[in-house]
Each structure stands twice: as structure tokens, then as C-alpha cells.
């Protein structure tokens, strides 16, 4: 049915044309932004690939959590875990040493520790082995951006059954941190 005398087809065409113009006017200002996003994405492969926030290292937590920081640095062996590798370095091949990194450093193989030279702030096992990468949390200060609920499975990644038996101790959920 026609009510204004114009053929339906034309009305539809006009609607489509206006809609496309509207889209264009919307997209042109956004285009540079879109392009720059596409260009910069591959520049941060770690972030883009894993979708993980960055590891920032234990010292970055000090400013706001001094109590936990001091207690950790003073009492936890984790804060000196790289020394344990150094002590045994003689007689180990480079490949064998890399296997130690998984447990004795922060975030090795998942966007964290690379080498003592490149990532000195991540060379010991720090806060983030339990609380997860803190890159977003240190900026937002939002407790929602950091892991608080920690389960035994989180510890078992490094405190593997074999090791627990060998050392005759079962890690306590509140031990080893602060």
C-alpha cells in the first residue's frame, strides 16, 4: 500500500542512502582511532596473546601494602628463591637451569620472568605467584583486579606432591606468604 504516492522502492533507497551517510559520518572521525588500534596491537604481543595483565614485581606492591611487603621480604624464603638456583648453578646446564625458573621466579613462561638481566624485578618468587599479575591492580587500586581467594591448587603448581613428600611437609595455605 502507498500512502504518499512515492513508489516503495525509492523510499527504501533513500532510507538506505541516509543510513549509509550516517554510518560514514560516524566512522570517519573514528577511523584513525581504529587504524591506530590495529597498528599498536601487535606491538604488545604478550598482552594481546595471553590477555593477561602484566607482572610488575614485588617492589611495586610496597607503596600500598607495606606490612605484607616487609613481612614477606623478611620471613619468606620465596623472596630469595633465585639465590637457591645460583647456589646450585655449578654443574647444571643452561636447559636444566631454565627448568628451575618455572618455580623459583615470577611468571616464567606466562609473560613474566625472562632472564635476570631483562627482568630483574621478577627474578624471585614474589607476591604475584599467589595473587596473580598485578599490572592492572597497581593502577586502579581496585581490589577486584587482584586475586585474593587462593586455593591449595595454586600452591601445588610448585609445591608438587613429589616435592612435598621429599621434604616431609605439607604447605599450609597461609604459610609462605606473609
Q: 19 or 59: whose CB is closer to ligand HEC?
A: 59
From the list 10-18, 19-27, 112-120, 160-168, the region that binds ligand HEC by CB under 6 A is 160-168
Of residues 52, 102, 116, 136, which one binds ligand HEC by CB under 6 A?
102
By the 8 A CB rule, do 105 and 123 touch?
yes
Of residues 6, 14, 48, 160, which one binds ligand HEC by CB under 6 A?
160
Is 119 a binder of ligand HEC (CB under 6 A)?
A: no
* C-alpha–C-alpha distance, residues 63 and 55, integer Å: 16
Is 161 a binder of ligand HEC (CB under 6 A)?
A: no
The least CB distance from residue 117 to ligand HEC, in Å, is: 19
Q: 41 or 160: whose CB is closer to ligand HEC?
A: 160
* C-alpha–C-alpha distance, residues 105 and 116, integer Å: 10
Q: To 10 degrees, what angle do helices 94-104 and 81-88 make?
A: 160
The least CB distance from residue 118 to ligand HEC, in Å, is: 19
Is 122 a binder of ligand HEC (CB under 6 A)?
A: no
Is 85 a binder of ligand HEC (CB under 6 A)?
A: yes
CA angle 156, 99, 164 (to 5 degrees): 30
Closest CA to 57 of 149, 124, 157: 124
* C-alpha–C-alpha distance, residues 98 and 100, integer Å: 5
Amino acid at each position: 500500500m502507498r500512502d504518499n504516492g512515492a513508489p516503495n522502492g525509492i523510499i527504501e533507497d533513500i532510507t538506505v542512502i541516509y543510513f549509509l551517510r550516517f554510518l560514514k559520518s560516524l566512522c570517519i572521525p573514528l577511523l584513525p582511532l581504529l587504524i591506530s588500534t590495529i597498528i599498536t596491537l601487535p606491538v604488545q604481543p604478550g598482552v594481546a596473546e595471553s590477555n593477561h595483565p602484566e607482572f610488575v614485581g614485588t617492589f611495586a606492591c610496597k607503596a600500598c601494602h607495606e606490612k605484607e611487603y616487609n613481612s614477606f621480604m623478611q620471613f619468606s624464603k620465596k623472596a630469595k628463591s633465585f639465590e637457591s638456583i645460583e647456589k646450585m648453578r655449578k654443574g647444571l646446564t643452561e636447559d636444566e637451569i631454565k627448568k628451575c625458573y618455572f618455580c623459583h621466579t615470577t611468571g616464567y613462561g606466562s609473560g613474566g620472568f625472562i632472564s635476570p638481566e631483562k627482568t630483574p624485578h621478577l627474578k624471585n618468587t614474589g607476591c604475584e605467584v599467589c595473587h596473580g599479575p598485578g599490572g592492572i591492580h597497581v593502577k586502579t587500586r581496585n581490589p577486584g583486579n587482584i586475586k585474593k581467594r587462593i586455593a591449595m591448587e595454586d600452591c601445588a603448581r610448585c609445591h608438587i606432591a613429589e616435592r612435598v613428600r621429599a621434604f616431609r611437609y605439607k604447605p599450609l595455605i597461609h604459610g609462605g606468604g606473609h
